[in-house]
Amino acid sequence: MSDFAVEFDNVTKKFGDNVLFEHFNFNIRKNEVVSIIGPSGSGKSTLLRILMTLESIDAGMVRVQGESLWHMQKNGAWLPADERHLRKCRGHMGMVFQHFNLFPHMTVLRNITEAPIHVLGQSKEEARANGMELLRTVGLADKADAYPSRLSGGQKQRVGIARALAMKPSILLLDEITSALDPELVDEVLEVIRKLAAEDAYTMMLVTHEMYFAREISDRVCFFDAGQIVEEGPPEQIFNAPNHERTRAFLNSFLNI
């Protein structure tokens, strides 16, 4: 059994003729919290989207909890993964989106219980009890019956987190979860993530522009640019003593705004 929760093995990803990355190798250990930082448009989010099966890969192998994601073995031969295989793999992961993507036609509680009931097969009572418990964790128990359109951005994102957690994933993928928020609402969302990171029960992969936050909660920070990891290491090293000129330039651009 692999020690890694996530493995990118020689992965190539293209959009048309545009090569996003080639021969990309990257691993995340179990229960490690990893932040990916880097310029916009460098394809950081694509890494998360490949894991969540929202984007396919063009070459190489991706493994999630030791299991190949985009390929399956049948009678000794490797075949492209079918929907059933993908659904099995997705069960390991939960994703929180930049734009929340809450279901607008469902109440907050139903947003959280819909998938546990219909995908995991939980009973309604069980799912509701779990859902209320999660809402209490993110501080929104009083909003259970509200529709998402009535919530602030920060509240929406906390529901987004609770919704992902309800599926009991072992890996959490957080895709710029504070980018769409007004500055004063960022903290309430980060507070929730801070608590989750402290539990040490999840493998977490964050794509973020919140440098201070990345520094605070990550075990490892990776600077991703032009299709490769330019530099990675413990947060102190990356933020205090970056080796690479590009990393330094990028971090400086953040300090200057």
Tell me which residue of 148, 162, 72 sits closest to 115, measured CA to CA: 162
Sheet bearing 4-15, strands edge to edge: 18-29, 4-15, 59-64, 67-68
Member of 12, 101, 228, 237 binding other proteins (CB under 8 A): 101
Question: How far apart are the C-alpha atoms of 235 and 23, rounded to whole Å?
Answer: 25
Q: Give the total of residues touching other proteins (CB under 8 A).
A: 30
Member of 52, 127, 221, 230 binding other proteins (CB under 8 A): 52
Q: Shortest Cβ distance from residue 105 to other proteins (Å)?
A: 5
C-beta of 189 vs 221, nearer to other proteins: 189
For residue 94, state whether it binds other proteins (rule: CB under 8 A). Answer: yes
For residue 130, state whether it binds other proteins (rule: CB under 8 A). Answer: no
Which pair of tokens denotes residue 85?
A: 């295989």
For residue 107, state whether it binds other proteins (rule: CB under 8 A). Answer: yes
Question: How far apart are the C-alpha atoms of 18 and 169, rounded to whole Å?
Answer: 33
CA dihedral 122, 192, 236, 211 (to 10 degrees): 110
Question: How far apart are the C-alpha atoms of 24 and 135, rounded to whole Å?
Answer: 38
For residue 158, state whether it binds other proteins (rule: CB under 8 A). Answer: no
Give the range of 29-37, 86-94, 125-133, 214-222 binding other proteins by CB under 8 A: 86-94
Residues lying near other proteins in the complex (CB under 8 A): 52-54, 83, 87, 90-91, 93-95, 97, 99, 101-107, 114-115, 118-119, 147-150, 163-164, 167
